[in-house]
Structure 1
């Protein structure tokens, strides 16, 4: 296996110079400093560093300072839930391009005291007094919701999610948990490099569309002097004040108190239908994760709709019908099977995945029998032009953060949080220091669609935390940010570990694929797909010979070399016998895994 990985490594260096860049906004010229190949390592893959190993506690987040905050909370007597909330609050300040209290949250928690997995759906709903017809009238004939302004906003669920977690599992007072972020928001922190790049991209997107919404508050909060650059000290005193009120007054401050009144007043001035009653009635929901067996004793566990987590389980049920390890990891056979399994699973996503209060999920889609029947649709020699009606296209450039914390007692937290795309929809309530999510962009306007907009309904969600069991025991937290990349990424990491023996860090650093195309969950429930085959995007670590072979098999393939569309990964594994923790983080982000 080492020789297989080394062979792929050699290809990476040559492709960095030889592979033409795709002509889209994902591609960029590589700096001269990156036109040299990886150095050698005494063990493991040359292109990957060592995973982090510790005993008493560990955190892996998209920002080193957030990781440090999580460890500080653990050392101060908090548990993994306290530390996860503290780190997530910090990321809302330090990585506003990926998350914040204007967005939603989903969590899987393993509790060693009960030996049980708990799932939390912290997603918000649409205004309960606005009908589909009224929304369409506001849209003025548009066939989909916009990415900006008041109409795609749904109730922010993160703060309530924090308090649900904390009330059930937390140990430290919430004031102590939020204190580090409040301090950083007042005193400032230096902007991280990748986050600085995303801030510049966000500003450019907002300015292109600033005639469609009120950008003044957002500009004053983040972009008064342009996009903050790497190393620049950034402060957000408005967010500090908001978090301080929440710390003092609890979750009702955000949904019933002064903060709620400020938000609703601002939203109504922008033309939103939200009322104080909508905010007051918001609640998170505890849900049951589902798990499916892959092979070698490994099980993947995901949250049910309205998330897309079960798409990863459907992919696993398809792919366990073929022994991928008979081929090299970078072979066209392996890439082909993963891609076709994704396309088949996502055909069901467009039809069935929605708020279960409105469209109950058919659990038979997760059966071994259904997975085997769907596997039989794959032609091993060529790409199938279309896998029937309803194949979806999910969001591509998702703006999300995934993080995980495990403490010395074995409490394990897998947490994902997002404002959806582009920091959110551009609207920032007066003096509050955060941006509202635009997750409602993912509603369908077709009343016959399972994901159709309706009053008080949760939209289809792409953000998904994951969990892995091994031989029936809790083993690993896992997540990979990035819209429709997420189920694909979960499955690819699992394949890397189970079928190819990679360690946690190698499994995340290895080159990825991202298939994008077909019907969207926002489109009409009937009619042909405009792009049934879609496009298979791959990173330069996929060998050039494999790319050409995939094209001959009928795939449309593009090589993308900047990592943006391939997500962001974190994971922590816990040895069930010794309690030793092994963590990994994403080299495509600014993050850090660390323990003690």
Structure 2
């Protein structure tokens, strides 16, 4: 039995007071860490437009200032990019749009290109069954049936508030009056001018003056006009959607494609229709992510990766640390393995979306993960479920004064698509046929492996990585975001959202932050050059990760808008391009 005397109690009490005093003194001496100061991008009170070109962003902002809504502005921006950003924006392509109306209603539209009726599963293979180099990437057979005009008119009819003729007028004037060539743009025109000449068999608008042999050189700041495109847009403004799919423009387009050996017909154009689809919705901690469903792989893969990351404290791991890079890489590895097997055109395939984005499935997929070492992709296959793109895309984000938000990603697939330029219409044609599985198990131009779900079939939409995304926080609009980047689109959007959600960055900081990418195969982690410390890269290599540093452009040019707590809008325009945020 222990006997506690009054003397013992007093001594113990004195010691307790002494220790408490030491703790208080020590805590007073400890410097309080100040909250990290967020460096904000472009701020605005009521409207924000962020796109790949200043001209397009300003045209969209003017539409909003004149009383239009986000859907009117997106049409104007999309069409303006046809003029000022032919690298990726073109009437000859297609895309996806995700939206959230001010009342909380969400939706998405798919105006992805389709395979022509004359397409066959082996059209790009030689007699031995091997892919014929470049046949699905350059020239007339690479072209899918364009969907952009169908998409724009569908959006206008359902959600717009202005007539198309009024929306297109400033775009037509931009084509007539021209735009200043930036340094980035000049470099691209110079790089591809010889290819344009080779594929088209003659000079085109974007090769004259850009080749080394040209006497009169075009320089940065020079204006380039496209009066032919202005005429095409004017006919569309006058005659509507049917002009592109059945009218004079359609006939000129089909005649051009047939003359070059392509297989798209008037019937292909007449049968094309954009499709409204239900978005993919998922949660990550306290945010709701609204993404594009198949034939985009973006919404599903994004939801999968977030579900795999959710059990871990990413904020505690820290931004771009060894642990956080490992976590994101391993989740990406598994999601891309599933992408290659399960995803394709939902009109041709039964896709187990609910299972793929479930918490239980994510948990099973991560059972083989360890912080000690990399999981080789050779050991990762697609998951087991019971019952069962381009570097050269462009994205823009808009929030209007009414509270509507849109995220739209559009593409030609590769740089200037198939490189075929329709000189009588003023635009390039896509090379989206390469996004099909030309041969199951063979990589496309982005190294993505495809399976039977994405095989070539007539009238089928090819699988895409485009990931236009809207995010809610606590039930309210919080962010609209997306990027070009081919197979890196999904991972760039993912990391941008994490930068804001877990690492307390502003929108501009989030889009500018260094990025990395992994897509299952090839089994290599791509890092932006000179953006990650040698100690971090060495540590990852020691754990078995193959490291490669590549040009930052391949990791996309993210454009996003963030709603701050007081309702102010912050536009984030990626430093990697000529992207510009315009707001009021």
TM-score range, shorter chain: 0.7 to 0.9
1:421-467 Cα deviation digits (max 9, x unpaired)? 02110112241110110011121234771111011111111222111
Q: Does 1:488 align with 2:491?
A: yes
Which residue of 240, 249, 255 maps to 2:245? 255
CA distance in 2, matches of 1:171, 1:480: 27
- CA gap 1:538/1:187 in 2 versus in 1, 3 angstroms: closer
- CA gap 1:134/1:324 in 2 versus in 1, 3 angstroms: closer
**What residue is the counterpart of 1:37 in the other structure?**
none
- Provide structure 1 residue ranges, at least 5 long, that are not aligned to the other structure: 1-41, 519-530
**What residue is the counterpart of 2:18 in the other structure?**
none
CA distance in 2, matches of 1:350, 1:250: 38
**What residue is the counterpart of 1:30 in the other structure?**
none
CA distance in 1, matches of 2:524, 2:483: 21
Which residue of 565, 569, 574 maps to 1:581? 569
Q: Does 1:224 align with 2:208?
A: yes
1:534 offset after TM fit, Å? 2.7
* Structure 2 counterparts to residues 60-459 of structure 1, below 5 A: 60-113=50-103, 115-133=104-122, 136=125, 142=131, 145-203=135-193, 205-206=195-196, 210=198, 213-216=199-202, 219-226=203-210, 229-295=219-285, 297-309=286-298, 310-363=300-353, 364-386=355-377, 387-389=379-381, 395=389, 398-446=391-439, 449-459=452-462
- CA gap 1:262/1:352 in 2 versus in 1, 3 angstroms: same
1:369-388 Cα deviation digits (max 9, x unpaired)? 11111122212121111243
**What residue is the counterpart of 2:15 in the other structure?**
none
- The answer to whether the Cα contact below 8 Å between 1:514 and 1:538 also exists between their aligned partners in 2 is no
- CA gap 1:50/1:201 in 2 versus in 1, 3 angstroms: farther
| Runs of 4+ in structure 1 over 4 Å off | 133-141, 204-207
- The answer to whether the Cα contact below 8 Å between 2:124 and 2:136 also exists between their aligned partners in 1 is no
CA distance in 2, matches of 1:365, 1:489: 21
**What residue is the counterpart of 1:462 in the other structure?**
465
TM-score by length of 2: 0.86
Q: Does 1:476 align with 2:450?
A: no
- CA gap 1:306/1:332 in 2 versus in 1, 3 angstroms: same
User: RMSD value over aligned CA atoms?
Assistant: 2.2
SS of aligned partner of 2:97: strand
1:206 offset after TM fit, Å? 4.4
1:407-433 Cα deviation digits (max 9, x unpaired)? 111011111111110211011224111
TM-score by length of 1: 0.84
**What residue is the counterpart of 1:22 in the other structure?**
none
Q: Does 1:594 align with 2:582?
A: yes
**Alignment length (residue pairs):** 525
- Provide structure 2 residue ranges, at least 5 long, that are not aligned to the other structure: 1-34, 212-217, 384-388, 441-450
- The answer to whether the Cα contact below 8 Å between 1:99 and 1:399 also exists between their aligned partners in 2 is no
CA distance in 1, matches of 2:128, 2:411: 25
1:239-295 Cα deviation digits (max 9, x unpaired)? 111111111111110001000001111111122222111100100000111121111
1:479 offset after TM fit, Å? 0.6
**What residue is the counterpart of 1:571 in the other structure?**
560
CA distance in 2, matches of 1:232, 1:321: 53
CA distance in 2, matches of 1:555, 1:262: 51
SS of aligned partner of 1:121: strand
1:135 offset after TM fit, Å? 5.7
SS of aligned partner of 1:573: strand
- The answer to whether the Cα contact below 8 Å between 1:205 and 1:422 also exists between their aligned partners in 2 is no
Higher Cα Rg: structure 1 or 2?
A: 2
SS of aligned partner of 2:146: coil
- The answer to whether the Cα contact below 8 Å between 2:149 and 2:244 also exists between their aligned partners in 1 is yes
- The answer to whether the Cα contact below 8 Å between 1:81 and 1:413 also exists between their aligned partners in 2 is yes
